[in-house]
Amino acid sequence: MEKFDAIVIGAGAAGLFCAAQAGQRGLRVLVLDNGKKAGRKILMSGGGRCNFTNLYTEPAAYLSHNPHFCKSALARFTQWDFIALVQKYQIAYHEKTLGQLFCDDSAQQIIDLLLAECELGTVTVRLRSEVTSVEKQGEEFVVTVNGKQVSTHSLIVACGGLSMPGLGATPFGYRLAEQFGLPVLPTRAALVPFTLHKPLLAELQALSGVAVPATVTAQNGTRFAENILFTHRGLSGPAILQISSYWQPGEYVSINLLPGTDLAEFFAVQREKHPNLSLRNALAKLLPKRLVECLQTMGDLPDVALNQLSKAAQQDITDKLQNWQVQPNGTEGYRTAEVTLGGMDTLALSSKTMEARDVQGLYFIGEVTDVTGWLGGYNFQWAWSSAWACAQALPFA
Work out whether 366 is an interface residue with ligand FAD (CB under 6 A).
yes
Nearest approach, Cβ of 10 to ligand FAD (angstroms)?
A: 3
User: Which residue has its beta carbon closest to ligand FAD?
Assistant: 12
Please write down the long-range contacts of 358-362, taking CB distance under 8 Å and 24 or more positions apart.
358/180, 358/181, 358/182, 359/136, 359/180, 359/181, 359/182, 360/139, 361/139, 361/141, 361/152, 361/153, 361/154, 361/155, 362/141, 362/155, 362/157, 362/180, 362/182
> With CB under 6 A as the contact rule, which of the stretches 64-72, 238-246, 248-256, 379-387 interacts with ligand FAD?
379-387
Q: Which residues pair with 204 in a beta bridge?
A: none
CB-CB contact of 193 with 235 (8 Å)? yes
With respect to ligand FAD, which residue has the nearer C-beta, 273 or 335? Answer: 335
**DSSP summary character for residue 338:** S
Work out whether 332 is an interface residue with ligand FAD (CB under 6 A).
no
With respect to ligand FAD, which residue has the nearer C-beta, 12 or 328? Answer: 12
Of 6, 7, 8, 13, the residue at the interface with ligand FAD (CB under 6 A) is 13
Q: Using CA atoms, how far apart are residues 56 and 13, in angstroms rounded to an integer?
A: 20
Angle at 116 between CA 111 and CA 118, to 5 degrees: 95
Work out whether 346 is an interface residue with ligand FAD (CB under 6 A).
no
CA nearest 134: which of 146, 115, 151, 112? 151
Work out whether 238 is an interface residue with ligand FAD (CB under 6 A).
no
Work out whether 295 is an interface residue with ligand FAD (CB under 6 A).
no
With respect to ligand FAD, which residue has the nearer C-beta, 21 or 34? Answer: 34
Q: Which residues pair with 339 in a beta bridge?
A: 190
Of 144, 170, 222, 296, the residue at the interface with ligand FAD (CB under 6 A) is 170
Residues that bind ligand FAD in the complex, under the rule CB under 6 A: 9-15, 32-35, 40-41, 44-46, 50-51, 130-131, 158-160, 163-164, 168-170, 172, 338-339, 366-367, 377-380, 383
